[in-house]
Amino acid sequence: MLLNTPTAHTAPILFVGGKGGVGKTTVAAARALALADAGHRVLLMSTDPAHSLGDVLEHPLGDRPVRVAPGLWAAEPDADTAVRRRIAQVVRDAERALPAEIMPAVRRHLDHAGAAPGMAESALADLLMERMEEVGDRWDRLVVDSAPTGHLLRLLALPTLLTPWVTGLTRRRERARKAEAFADAVVAEPEEDPLLARLHERRHRLEGAAARLRSASRVGLVTVPRRMVLAETARALDSLTEAGFPLDTVIVNQIPPPGAVGPDGTAVLAEIRRRFAHVGVTEVPLADREPTGPSGLRALAAHLPG
C-alpha cells in the first residue's frame, strides 16, 4: 500500500538502506528485478559485508557482475579482495615513480594501511564509483544494497570527505615534481609521474561521484513498525536530508495482519506515516514465507513503488 507517495522513482541510481534485519536486501533485490522486468538493463550491487544478496537471489555471486535474470545482473564484492586490489595498484604506481631502495618500506607501510579502519569501506567505495560511471552506458539502472544505516551514511559521504584530502596530496606531489623536473632538466627529459596521474584520476572520480550522488541518485530507507527501528530511521533520514541527498519512498516492511498488530505497533505505524509523509510511505505486509528467488521477489515487488 502506497501512502502519500510524491513522485515515482526516476533517478538511475537507487541506494537501499536501513537497520540490519529490516529486509533491505530483499527490498533492493525486488526493486531491481521489477526494473529489469520493465525492460531496463539493471545492475544490483551489494556493499554489505554480510553477503546475503546471493542467498536472496538464490544465485552464487562474486566481484564481477553475473546475469541472474533477463535484464538483471548482480555483484557482491568482497571487501578484503577490494583492499588487496587497491594496494597492488598503489605498489605498481610506486615502483614506477619511487627509488627501488625505499620500496620495502613502502610495502610495509601499505601492509599496515590495509588493516586500518575504514580501508575496506574506501575500497568498496572505489568499486561503487566505477559502477556508477557505467550507468547510462553499460547499465540503465543501478540498485545498491547497502550495509546497515551507519555504513550507508559513511559511504555516501566519502566522495565529499576525501576530495579535499586528495586535492592536498595532488598539490604536494605537484610541488615535489616541479623540484624534480628542475633537476631532471639538467640531465634528462622528466618522466611521466604515475602517482600524480593516479591522484588526478582519483580527484576527478571523487568529484564526479559526489555530483552524481546528488543529481542522479535517490536513497530509499527500509524500516519496520518497531519503535527503536523507527528512531534510527528518523535519524538517518534527517542526516541524509541535511547532507542534500535526494530521498526515495520509505518502505515499511513486515507489517503483521490487522488483527495481529498490538496497540504499540499501531501507534508506531501511525508515527511512521506522520514523520515520513513528506517523502512518501509504502507499506508491505508480512509475507507467509521468506521472499527469495524470482517468484518470491516478484511477489514482494507487487507491493513496492514502480
* Strands across the sheet containing 72-75: 2-3, 281-285, 250-255, 217-223, 13-18, 141-145, 42-46, 72-75, 66-69
In which band, very low, low, confident or very high, does the pLDDT at 164 lie, cut at 50, 70 and 90?
Answer: low
The rounded percent of the chain whose pLDDT value lies above 70 is 75
pTM of the full structure: 0.80
Q: Is the pLDDT of residue 193 over 80?
A: no
| DSSP annotation string for the chain | -EES--S----SEEEEEESTTS-HHHHHHHHHHHHHHTT--EEEEE--TT--HHHHHTS---SS-EEEETTEEEE---HHHHHHHHHHHHHHHHHHHS-GGGHHHHHHHHHHHHTSTTHHHHHHHHHHHHHHHHBTTTBSEEEEEPPSHHHHHHHHHHHHHHHHHHHHHHHHHHHHHHHHHHHHHHHSPPPP-HHHHHHHHHHHHHHHHHHHHHHSEEEEEEE-S-HHHHHHHHHHHHHHHHHT--BPPEEEEEEPPGGG--HHHHHHHHHHHHHTTTT-EEEEEPPSS---HHHHHHHHHTTS--
Q: How confident is the model at residue 288 (pLDDT cuts 50, 70, 90)?
A: confident
How far apart are alpha carbons 78 and 51 in whole angstroms?
A: 8
What is the per-residue pLDDT across 259-271, written as a single tens digit (0 to 9) for each? 677 777 789 999 9
- In this prediction, residue 189 carries a pLDDT of 47
Sequence ranges of the domains in the chain: 2-84+120-166+209-301
pLDDT at 70 over 50: yes
Active site residue 48: yes
Q: How far is CA 166 from CA 85, 108, 180, 203, 204, in A?
A: 19, 22, 21, 6, 10
Model confidence pLDDT, tens digit, residues 10-63: 789 999 999 988 999 999 999 999 999 999 999 999 988 778 999 999 999 998
182 has a pLDDT exceeding 50: no
User: What contacts 225, CB < 8 A, 6 or more positions away?
Assistant: 252, 254, 255, 261, 265, 268, 269, 272
- In this predicted model, which residue has the larger pLDDT, 257 or 83? 257
C-alpha–C-alpha distance, residues 176 and 4, integer Å? 57
CATH number of 2-84+120-166+209-301: 3.40.50.300
Residues 6 or more apart whose CB falls under 8 angstroms from that of 111 comprise 87
Q: What is the mean pLDDT of the chain?
A: 82
Query: Which listed residue (37, 48, 93, 111) is catalytic?
Result: 48
